[in-house]
Structure 1
């Protein structure tokens, strides 16, 4: 039992209530930290409101789909915007914009290969037109079938020879210009062969150099 000395006084009720209030406040703060702060996505999700119940009948489902599609004018505007976006992307891809190219066409190495092929006059580019002419002549005159078949075999032989020569030229020039390139020789040769075998007007991206230009 503790005795009071002279001059000391007992603690008042005010100080006791103050200490109790501080303890309660500390307890309240401590309890508030027991849950992590909600993320922005969670807060936005709570503000979206309740999820609409699933339709009970086919009629309700059709009505909901119709409401989600919007009006006829809104659908027309949306369709026109999508077509404009597709056309814009295609135009940029054909122009050689790196951002819109296909993965197979991206990079300075592939652009250099395209320029090498486009600056040459390749026999490979005549394969498709000549093949169509030979096939049509064989259909119109079956008697020429043997001659047409022989001509196509000779043409394919020349294609293979030119493809091998073109692949060697492309790989040599790429290794000289880009010594750190990791592209395989087979990949570069095939890429050049496929582009050279296409009609010039149908190549994508469009040629950026003219035949005979120095690359």
Structure 2
């Protein structure tokens, strides 16, 4: 090795050559931190600010779909695929809450013993049955496509997609990034 190489290496801050190895005691002292900070109020404020910033990043990620800052329950390529698949299709589950609210309001207005009240009750349970069938068929399609694309299906992805299909589209988080009819590939 030439003298110029040795000089360059000793000036390099990444290189430890030319500097004596610190003793164990010196290394331990450098790592020591107090269990309780000296200024507890400032530490608490800094922790609160950090938590707020992290929550703001997570909220922006839920709006934009940025994978890095999404909550753990929404991370991963399979969950993104399931989200996009559910958002691309029309599902009956989106409107079950509105229909249930309408049925409850109509039942309040109608006398409890009328045939219309009984008919509304039957219509509601038929609608619930159709939603269950629609969700089951959608889960099978998602499982088939995930298996074709990724080789296997991670645990909980089908349930994740099914629960997303029961939410009204505008209320879904992370926000839908695909339009209806634009199926993921």
Please indicate, yes or no, whether the TM-score normalized by the shorter chain is above 0.5. yes
**2:88 matched residue in structure 1:** 119
Matching residue within 45, 66, 71 for 1:97: 66
Q: TM-score, normalized by length of structure 2? A: 0.70
Match of 1:199 in 2: 168
Is the Cα contact below 8 Å between 1:131 and 1:152 reproduced in 2? yes
Aligned 8 A contact 1:167 1:188 in 2: no
Q: TM-score, normalised by structure 1?
A: 0.61
Partner of 2:121: 149
Q: Separation in 1 of the partners of 2:74 and 2:169?
A: 16
The aligned runs of 1:158-197 (5 Å cut-off) are 158-179=130-151, 181-184=152-155, 187-197=156-166
Measure, in 1, the Cα distance between the counterparts of 2:153 and 2:28: 42
Aligned partner (choices 32, 35, 42) of residue 29 of structure 2: 42
Aligned equivalents of 1:45, 1:189: Cα separation in 2 = 47
**CA distance in 2: counterparts of 1:81 and 1:178, whole angstroms:** 36
Q: Where does structure 2 lack aligned partners over 5 or more consecutive residues?
A: 1-22
Structure 1 position 109 matched with structure 2 position 78: yes
User: Alpha carbons of 1:94 and 1:146: their partners in 2 closer, same or farther (altered >3 Å)?
Assistant: same
State the match for 2:104 in structure 1: 135
Q: Name the counterpart of 1:208.
A: 177
Structure 1 unaligned segments of length 5 or more: list them: 1-35, 52-66
Deviations 1:119-149 (A, max 9, x none): 1011111111111221222223343542332
Aligned to 2:17: none
| 1:214 Cα deviation from its structure 2 partner | 3.3
Inter-partner Cα distance in structure 1 for 2:158 and 2:165:
11
| Cα-Cα RMSD | 3.2
Structure possessing the higher radius of gyration over alpha carbons? 1
> Is the CA contact (8 Å cut-off) linking 2:147 and 2:153 kept in structure 1?
no
Q: Deviations over 1:36-88 (max 9, x none)?
A: 72154534649x7xx9xxxxxxxxxxxxxxx8536xxxx6x997775455233
